[in-house]
Structure 1
Amino acid sequence: MMFHEGLKTADVLAVRGILVPNICSFCQADMETITHLYFECTYIFDIAKRLFPWMNNLFMRSNFYQVFDSIFDQGFDIKTRNNYLLIASAMIYFVWRARNDRRFGSIIDSKATIIAKIKKAVLIKALKWKK
């Protein structure tokens, strides 16, 4: 859904005439858009750097297309590449869930909690792959 602009961020809803708070639920500083959420937001970019070590060496922040491209550009073997692709997909999902939890459920997970949820989901899926 993210790649097809299917996530209902504040900017997408505004185009449809639905007005909602447009400030990012994580950094509370910028307007919520898909590109801000993935990965212009400092809060989310910090999570990405913990999951993708090579992002610590970047001069500019990647967008979500570049993150997926960079996984292929790293020259990983197929198993490692697939793990990172799974991590990227899980990150998109759990960041969106954390965003919705903040907006609609008053549940505020820390960066460490979001990272732990991502890692747990990836581990469970990877263990199923081995079987």
Structure 2
Amino acid sequence: MKTVDVLSFRNIYIQDSTCIFCQETTENLFHLMFECDFSFKVLTNLIPSFQNFFLRPTIFQAIDHIGGLSVADNMKHSLLLILNATVYFIWLERNSRRFKSNTVCATTLSSKISRAIYLRITRWKNGEYLKDKLNMKYR
């Protein structure tokens, strides 16, 4: 992902290098995904078990955590889908804020992601069961 730190490494300098969400830290991949309060709130709105981490997880730790859960494979696949969709939508929101000056709050973004997951899981064989277990609603 072409975050501010990656672009500056390539000698492309951005005037405002702070995180577009919190305005507190220099933007980098680890901060955007999930050290930032905004992105962590989006993640925990969708997968509440991440609130139990002592420190905020990186993307890699989140994937490892989901992979290590002792749940059915279809549940792991659903959680990985939620995680991937969260990363994708946070990146879209970052770009929307940086290039279009459009913003939505973490709750609204979580709802948007939830709707996308809901529609995707609906087509799955055990879709109704998974939507119920994951508390997915078309908000």
| TM-score of the superposed pair, with normalisation by structure 2 | 0.85
| CA distance in 1: counterparts of 2:40 and 2:113, whole angstroms | 14
Please say if 1:17 is aligned against 2:11: yes
1:72 is matched with which residue: 67, 85, 106? Answer: 67
Does the 8 A contact of 2:45 with 2:107 survive in 1? Answer: no
Aligned-residue offset at 1:129: 2.5
Letter of the 1:78 partner, please give it. Answer: D
Q: Which residue of 1 aligns with 2:44?
A: 49
User: Is 1:87 the equivalent of 2:74?
Assistant: no
- 1:72 counterpart letter in structure 2: G
Q: Which amino acid aligns with 1:75?
A: S
Considering only aligned residues, what root-mean-square deviation do their CA atoms show, in Å? 1.3
User: Any gaps of 5 or more consecutive residues in structure 1?
Assistant: 1-6
Number of residue-to-residue matches in the alignment: 125
State the 4+ residue runs in structure 1 displaced beyond 2 angstroms: 128-131
CA distance, structure 1, for counterparts of residue 108 and residue 48 of structure 2: 18
CA distance in structure 2 between the aligned counterparts of 1:53 and 1:116, rounded to whole angstroms: 14
Q: In the alignment, residue 12 of structure 2 is paired with which amino acid? A: I
- 1:48: how far off? 1.2
What is the CA–CA distance in structure 1 between the aligned matches of 2:46 and 2:11, rounded to whole Å? Answer: 36
Identity between Structure 1 and Structure 2 (%): 36
Could you list the per-position Cα deviations for residues 53-91 of structure 1 after superposition, in whole angstroms to 9, with x for gaps in the alignment?
211111111100000111112212111111100000000
Number of the residue aligned with 2:33: 38
- How far is the alpha carbon of 1:121 from its aligned partner? 1.1
Q: TM-score scaled by structure 1? A: 0.90
Structure 2, unaligned stretches of length 5 or more?
128-139
Q: Retained in 1: the 8 A contact 2:18–2:24?
A: yes
